[in-house]
Amino acid sequence: MLSINNNRDMSDNNDDNGFTYLFNGQSIDGWCMAGPGKFVIIEYNKSVRSEGGMGLLWYTKKKYKDFVLKIDWKVNRKNDNSGVFIRFPNPDNDPWIAVNKGYEIQIDDLALPDGNPLHKTGAIYNFAAPSNQRSKPIGEWNTFEIEATNQKYSVILNSEKVVPEFIGNRLTEGYIGIQNHDIDSHVSFKNIRIKEI
């Protein structure tokens, strides 16, 4: 199940559309865990899955300014919770830095505990609700396409723009990360790729 090859830097792999892979299922070189919990590589589908406790797996090699980030993800249960963090400062070992200083693109179809639209899948957590729910059924892969240009943000989920535009006021440069929300959530990620614009 766990296969880590630290001898190869996956960030050197580019696709035909100009995206650079930060993770493609073969190595977590350049990534670091902040807080409890962990992520494990799942060999058969080249993904990484969250396990055990509130934490943040973040890409340490570069801060990103203006970019398009694509990331595939899937949940195992309807109430799984996770997120993709962008433009946060170095968290050291504190995952709350990403929550409080960056932006989270939410994964939580139920928006527990109260169904608040600002906490639903595709939302920019606490700031911009998605226009509709576009998640695929449990166990199927979804794709986020997140664009950040200056203070303008947009989110595409499964080819539909669910947050057309949000104007932020936080950092315009920072790190990329994925969330390990709690001990009961097991969200998988793969094909984490970025294109600077």
Q: Is residue 111 domain-resident?
A: yes
Q: Is residue 7 domain-resident?
A: no
Where b means 16+ CB within 10 Å and e means fewer, 18-43 reads: ebbbbbbbbbbbbbbbbbebebbbbe
Question: pLDDT tens digits for 25-49?
Answer: 888 899 999 998 899 999 999 999 9
Q: Is residue 3 domain-resident?
A: no
Local structure of residue 99 (DSSP, 8 states): H
Q: Is residue 8 domain-resident?
A: no
Q: Is the pLDDT of residue 9 over 60?
A: no
Question: pLDDT tens digits for 143-156?
Answer: 999 999 999 999 99
Q: Is residue 153 domain-resident?
A: yes
- Average per-residue pLDDT for the chain: 91
Q: Is the pLDDT of residue 179 over 80?
A: yes
Q: Is the pLDDT of residue 160 over 70?
A: yes
Number of domains comprising the chain: 1
Range of the domain at 87: 14-196
The reported pTM is: 0.91
Mean pLDDT across the stretch 137-166?
Answer: 98
Cα angle 191, 11, 67; round to 5: 70
Contacts of 99 (CB under 8 A, 6+ apart): 85, 125
Q: Is residue 20 domain-resident?
A: yes
Q: Is residue 6 domain-resident?
A: no
Q: Is residue 36 domain-resident?
A: yes
CATH code: domain of residue 144: 2.60.120.560
Helices of type H across 4-133:
96-101
